[in-house]
Structure 1
Amino acid sequence: MKAILTTLVLLGILCSANGFNITKILAKTPSFSVFNSYLSQTKLADEINSRKTITVLALNNAAMASLTSLPLSEIKRTLSLHVVLDFFNPTKLHDISNGTTLTTTLYQTTGNAPGNSGFVNITDLSGGKVGFGTAAKGTKLDATYVKSVAEEGYNISVLEISQPITTSVAEAPAPSPSQANITALLVKGGCKIFAGMLASTGAMKTFEDNAEGGLTVFAPSDAAFTPAVMKMLKNLTADDQVSLLLYHGLPTYSPLGTLKTTNGHLNTLATGGGAKYALTVTTAGDTVTLSTGVDKGIVASTIIDNQPIVVFTVNKVLLPTDLFSPAPAPAPAPEADVPATSPEASSPPAPAGPSDSPSASAAHSPAAAAKSEKSAAVVTASCQTSVFVVLALVAGAFFAL
């Protein structure tokens, strides 16, 4: 009985760890195809999938018509108002305390939402209607609840609303990437030393040239430039200094949500000409870590996220293995006195980890990714069946007693 219950718990943990995929959820309903497409284009889908609890206020194709003529950056800001960082289903909508509430959206988390413009007002109106609008005073609740589209536990809820939730702040034109002053942003964000090095070495031009097509910057904070780090940098040639600085940029737009769902190798602005200069991204909860093989840096904050540019601060200067010696492997733990006949003494060595395996790089190929997705789907599909089988065994064992 104990073994059966243990198996049931493990199966429950495995199934709950699979998460959700907003793109696949919306793909089941063709009338949300435009909304779904823009969630992918703006990378909001990655941000949604990286969250544990979320409500998506979906717009059908007809309701999206008023937004499709806007620049992609403005569409993203508007749609980010439709992603609520709380769980609301039909029952909860009609059971709001005092009939109205202000709730946080993804727009509020960007740091670009002045005042309370990143909050949405949800109000239970007369006649069974529920209205949605911005938290700005005097805003009309023109968008109303239509129906529930999907619901998975208390993790994700998709609700259809009648029309877009708009705000003059979200609709205001943002400066184009070519107008964005990267140096000023870095100085304001506490990365003055990094900004100065970009300017003095000429590496800034490469960053600016990539701004239109997509740019992600990992800017070390001023505190990351310790005396030891500064000494190492001074010993580099001029070309190697440029390569190190370019190592802190990606030639793609990868906001935080995308980084959280990446977990793998990323090429940088320094990659090319036979030089790897790759970063490895790993995520644990809300912490995103960038590993170089020499050191590790943590993404600390977002200075700006305005598609197609995102600038993060990191707590370390990232040192690539192309320029510095790899970090030494940790010393093995002292061996315990184990009899020669013990199972531990005769056990074969543990299999190589992902970084040591000859096929590690193949794990990122399209074929391997497809195989992985198929395997995940099989696990997900079999979880429910397995749980029912175990439940049946538990019931049988119980009545046998």
Structure 2
Amino acid sequence: MAKQVLSLSLLLVFLFHCTTTSGQPAQAPTLPAVAPAAPANAPAPPGPPDVTKILQKVGGFTILIRLLKSTGVADQLRGQLNDSSIRFTLFAPNDNAFSNLKAGTLNSLNNEEKVRLIQFHILPTYYTLENFQTVSNPVRTQAGDNKPGDYPLNVTSVGSQVIISTGLVNASVSGTLYSNFQLAIYQVDKVLLPLDLFVAKPPSPAPAPAPTKPKPKKTTAAASPETSTTATPTVVNSGAVSLATHGILVSLGVAVLIATFSL
């Protein structure tokens, strides 16, 4: 009986202790004085689109990537895309498109012409595929003048197919590689060849000779009565008589004088 009372007392003491402890508020965890640093391998904040990295990720654009880097166009695009108000559209020929060019085509171009060739594939505007249905031709490229014979580029949309014409090449868009609000990259099945680089221009005509001024005609003043001379007969030893009248010398081989002198 005593053991039962002792056990009951211990149980009551235990329950009282538990009730008192659970009623106290939990202590808040102590915050560190300095916020923890970000992990060293945290990704950097996203920057402007990098055309060469996009093409490398897709694969099959080795020649275009090399040209973008060697001409400096890749760095130029990346620098300009830092401004979110600047937008571009790039037509990207893959390695197969470059391999279909005539042998020596790229080697025939100097460095400046290679820059123009790559710039000819870039439009200074962001176009969706739907925008090409209402585009005004010829479209302007980064290569500059779009006048006939220089760098004209015409883009037409027929159904779901987009056709690009340079005057030498008709290429078609075969897929979208990248598109956001600032940059669109479309794969094309041919390298876009501009007229200015691949069509020989006729030599400029030689300048016409300057017209010669006509020489003024010499006029002979009429002789005044005071200075006019009359015909004067001249008698020579041979018996010939010469008569000078208005600069014309008339010779008369006669042995007699002129009839006027005989009158």
TM tier relative to shorter chain: 0.5 to 0.7
Match among 52, 56, 60 for residue 187 of structure 1: 56
CA drift of 1:230 comes to: 5.4
Quick one: distance in 1 between partners of 2:154 and 2:135?
9
Give the SS at the match of 1:303. Answer: strand
The alpha-carbon distance between structure 1 residues 227 and 256, as it changes in their structure 2 partners (threshold 3 A), is closer
Cα deviation, residue 185, structure 1:
0.8
Amino acid at match of 1:182: V
Q: Report the counterpart of residue 221 of structure 1 in structure 2.
A: 94
| TM-score, length basis structure 1 | 0.35
**Cα offset, 1:181, TM superposition:** 1.9
Q: Is the 8 A contact 2:133 2:157 kept in 1?
A: yes
Aligned residues: 151
> What does residue 71 of structure 2 align with?
201
Asked if the contact 1:271/1:278 (under 8 Å) is kept, the reply is no
Q: Please tell me the root mean square deviation across aligned C-alpha atoms, in Å.
A: 2.3
- Give 1:271 shift: 0.8
Counterpart residue number, 2:173: 299
Question: Which one-letter code corresponds to 2:51 in the other structure?
Answer: I
Equivalent positions of 1:250-261 (< 5 A) are 250-261=123-134
Q: CA deviation at 1:202?
A: 1.3
Give me the whole-angstrom Cα distance separating, in 1, the residues matched to 2:185 and 2:174. Answer: 11
1:206, CA displacement in angstroms? 2.9
Aligned equivalents of 2:183 and 2:146: distance in 1? 25
Q: Summarize the Cα distance change of 1:229–1:201 in structure 2 as closer, same or farther, 3 Å threshold.
A: farther
Within 5 A, what are the aligned runs for 1:268-279?
268-272=141-145, 276-279=150-153
Shift of 1:207: 2.4
Query: Given the alignment, which residue of 210, 218, 232 partners 2:105?
Result: 232
Q: Distance in 1 between matches of 2:145 and 2:98?
A: 26
Q: Which residue pairs with 1:285 in the alignment?
A: 159
AA in 1 matched with 2:106: L
Change (3 A) 1:280 1:310: same
Instruction: Give distance in 2, aligned partners of 1:320 and 1:264.
Output: 15
1:244 shift after superposition: 0.3
2:108 aligned with 1:245: no
One-letter amino acid of the structure 2 residue matched with residue 292 of structure 1? T
CA distance in 1, matches of 2:91, 2:101: 20
Distance 2:139 2:177 in 1: 21
Alignment correspondent of 2:242: none
Distance change (3 Å), C-alpha of 1:227 and 1:290: closer
Q: Is the contact made by 1:263 and 1:282 (CA closer than 8 Å) also made in structure 2?
A: no
Say yes or no: does 1:325 pair with 2:195. Answer: no
- Take 2:100 and 2:146, find their aligned partners in 1: how far apart are those partners? 31
Cα distance between partner residues in 2 of 1:240 and 1:232: 11
Deviation of residue 273 (structure 1)?
11
Overall identity of the aligned pairs, in %: 34
Cα contact 1:207–1:249 (8 A) shared by 2? no
Superimposed CA distance per residue, residues 213-254 of structure 1 (whole angstroms, 9 cap, x where no aligned partner): 001000101110116445111101110011001100011111
Quick check: 1:215–1:252 contact (8 Å CA) kept in 2? yes
Equivalent position of 1:316 in the other structure? 190
Q: Which has the higher contact order (CA 8 A, sep 6+)?
A: 1
* Maintained 8 Å contact 2:150/2:194: no
Shift in CA distance, 287/237, structure 1 to aligned 2, threshold 3 Å: same
The amino acid across from 1:184 in the alignment is: K
Which entry has the higher C-alpha Rg, 1 or 2? 2
Q: Displacement of 1:270 after TM fit?
A: 0.7
Distance in 1 of aligned mates of 2:120 and 2:80: 14
Distance 1:227 1:315 in 2: 10
Q: Are the counterparts in 2 of residues 247 and 268 from structure 1 also a CA contact under 8 Å?
A: yes
Write the letter of the residue equivalent to 1:306: N
Structure 1: gaps spanning 5 or more residues = 1-174, 327-401
Segments of 4+ moved more than 4 angstroms: 272-276
Letter of the 1:238 partner, please give it: N
Q: TM-score scaled to structure 2, two decimals?
A: 0.53
